[in-house]
A = this chain, B = another copy of it.
Amino acid sequence: MSDFAKTKSIFHLPEGVIYLDGNSLGPLPKATPDNIGNMLTNEWGEMLITGWNKADWMGQPSRVGDRIGKLIGAAAGSVVMGDTLSIKVYQAVSSALELNSSRKVVLSDNGNFPTDLYMVDGLLKSLDAGHELRLSDPDKVEESLSEEIAVLMLTEVDYRTGRKHNMKALTEKAHALGIIVIWDLAHSAGAVEVDLEGCNADFAVGCTYKYLNGGPGAPAFIYVAPRLQDKIRPSLSGWMGHEAPFAFDLDYRAGAGIERMRVGTPPVIALTALESALDIWDMVSMADVRAKSIELCDLFISEVEARCPELELNSPRDGENRGSQVTFKFNEGYAAMQALIAHGVIGDFRAPDNMRFGFTPLYIDESDVRAAVDILADVINNKLWDKPEYKQKARVT
């Protein structure tokens, strides 16, 4: 069995479904229910409060963080888990702004995921100190860099198009201008090779329910470069980031290193689900996953373009400049995606007209890609989408 046939066999994949939306929510690893069941019954149930030490729940945010660190080029002790990506964005931006306090501009691009922009907007309104959130087009980021910019915050892979920024080049250019850089790896971690240390990144954040298969609403991660960790003041200064959480001192003293980015009590059940899903990365290399992902995406593009001329590619054609997803534009994309889902191929839709498909070699292979294109071609070329039930807009996830 090939490595990817092995990894595919460890996921729970519903009968009759080709799942091309792992870029939104990864599927359930088969081992997860038992691992959680074990944690519930044998740890929480039997150890009760003593589980914090006996089962080392307390060490879980760092332990899991280190495992994710290996997938994104981060040294042990530089990644910690908790909260949600939105909260981690807030922590990173507020810390970065204080490190670069003589400057007042946060630069991002208008392809960034909205919650990142919303969190900055909320932070800047709270600070009420004359900051500006400035957005460039994604392809104009480099020319928008200047010594006015305090913080550059980018999502490496665009959630709609899969367009991938050049992390190393942009970080280098930004650093030369005294800018602190925050990378959102939501669509990168587990999808593409990331080398935070090699890029000399300052901060990175990401979620774990997409390519890391941690389950709906799984905890987020934050990376802080070791050279910065002890210089930052946590804005969200919770007791778990305190130097001595169980001394119950009245005054806050930031913990050592990455520990200070912890906030409240760790979400043990959710972290157990995630920890269980990370075992899969012992079976494959990130380089192999990336190479296979590009192959699958290339195959999908060539097949769709050959068979569905009405669809227009809205992703970079060169795999090196693309994440692990492919987007096609189609005027009736919303209805077409509903029809496609009804016919057993799950992708998703992003306004105004993007049909988005994620490809994850861990559980998607060439035969899935070909079968999905067969159904897509049927939906598009035979106008199967042209029914009222597909056109009616429900709440979209």
Shortest distance in angstroms between A263's beta carbon and chain B's nearest beta carbon? 5
Task: Convert A357-395 into 0s and 1s, putting 1 for each residue whose CB lies closer than 8 angstroms to a CB of B.
Answer: 000000000000000000000000000000000000011
The CA-CA distance from A265 to B216 in the complex, in Å, is 8
- A53-B394, A58-B397 in contact; A37/B46 too (CB < 8 A)? no
- A17-B48, A215-B44, A252-B121 in contact; A86/B238 too (CB < 8 A)? yes
Check if A119 is an interface residue, CB within 8 A of chain B: yes
B40 in contact with A125 (CB, 8 Å): no
Question: Most chain-B CB neighbours within 10 Å: which of A83, A117, A237, A248?
Answer: A237
Task: Convert A63-79 into 0s and 1s, putting 1 for each residue whose CB lies closer than 8 angstroms to a CB of B.
Answer: 00000000000000000
Shortest distance in angstroms between A98's beta carbon and chain B's nearest beta carbon? 8
Shortest distance in angstroms between A45's beta carbon and chain B's nearest beta carbon? 4
Hey, which chain B residues are within 8 Å of A216, CB to CB?
44, 51-52, 57, 265-266, 268-269
Hey, which chain B residues are within 8 Å of A217, CB to CB?
57, 264-271
B41 in contact with A233 (CB, 8 Å): no
Shortest distance in angstroms between A211's beta carbon and chain B's nearest beta carbon? 14
The CA-CA distance from A306 to B263 in the complex, in Å, is 42
- A248-B351, A264-B115 in contact; A397/B53 too (CB < 8 A)? yes
A215 in contact with B269 (CB, 8 Å): yes
Task: Convert A205-235 into 0s and 1s, putting 1 for each residue whose CB lies closer than 8 angstroms to a CB of B.
Answer: 0010100000111111000000000000111
- A21-B48, A86-B239, A267-B267 in contact; A252/B215 too (CB < 8 A)? no
Hey, which chain B residues are within 8 Å of A40, CB to CB?
28, 32-33, 36, 215, 273
A119 in contact with B246 (CB, 8 Å): no
B37 in contact with A33 (CB, 8 Å): yes
Interface residues of A in 297-335 (CB under 8 A from B): none
A122 in contact with B237 (CB, 8 Å): yes
Shortest distance in angstroms between A159's beta carbon and chain B's nearest beta carbon? 8
Hey, which chain B residues are within 8 Å of A209, CB to CB?
265
The CA-CA distance from A79 to B233 in the complex, in Å, is 31
Hey, which chain B residues are within 8 Å of A53, CB to CB?
394-395, 397
Shortest distance in angstroms between A139's beta carbon and chain B's nearest beta carbon? 17
Shortest distance in angstroms between A326's beta carbon and chain B's nearest beta carbon? 17
B49, B110, B266, B351: which contacts A247 (Cβ < 8 A)?
B351
Check if A257 is an interface residue, CB within 8 A of chain B: no
Check if A155 is an interface residue, CB within 8 A of chain B: no
- A46-B14, A252-B121 in contact; A85/B115 too (CB < 8 A)? no
Shortest distance in angstroms between A345's beta carbon and chain B's nearest beta carbon? 12
- A14-B46, A37-B37, A119-B238 in contact; A207/B348 too (CB < 8 A)? no
Check if A1 is an interface residue, CB within 8 A of chain B: no
B117 in contact with A250 (CB, 8 Å): yes
The CA-CA distance from A240 to B83 in the complex, in Å, is 14
The CA-CA distance from A118 to B247 in the complex, in Å, is 13
A341 in contact with B50 (CB, 8 Å): yes
Question: Most chain-B CB neighbours within 10 Å: which of A32, A115, A209, A252?
Answer: A115
Check if A136 is an interface residue, CB within 8 A of chain B: no
B235 in contact with A126 (CB, 8 Å): yes
- A58-B395, A246-B395 in contact; A87/B49 too (CB < 8 A)? no
Closest to A126 in B: B235
6 A-B residue contacts at CB 8 Å? A44-B215, A114-B239, A115-B240, A121-B251, A122-B237, A216-B269
What are the 8 closest A-B residue pairs judged by CB atoms, nearest first? A84-B264, A122-B237, A115-B239, A86-B238, A86-B264, A216-B268, A52-B397, A217-B267
> Contacts A114-B242, A115-B239 given; 9 further ones with Cβ under 8 A?
A12-B41, A49-B348, A53-B395, A85-B265, A86-B264, A87-B236, A94-B126, A118-B242, A219-B267
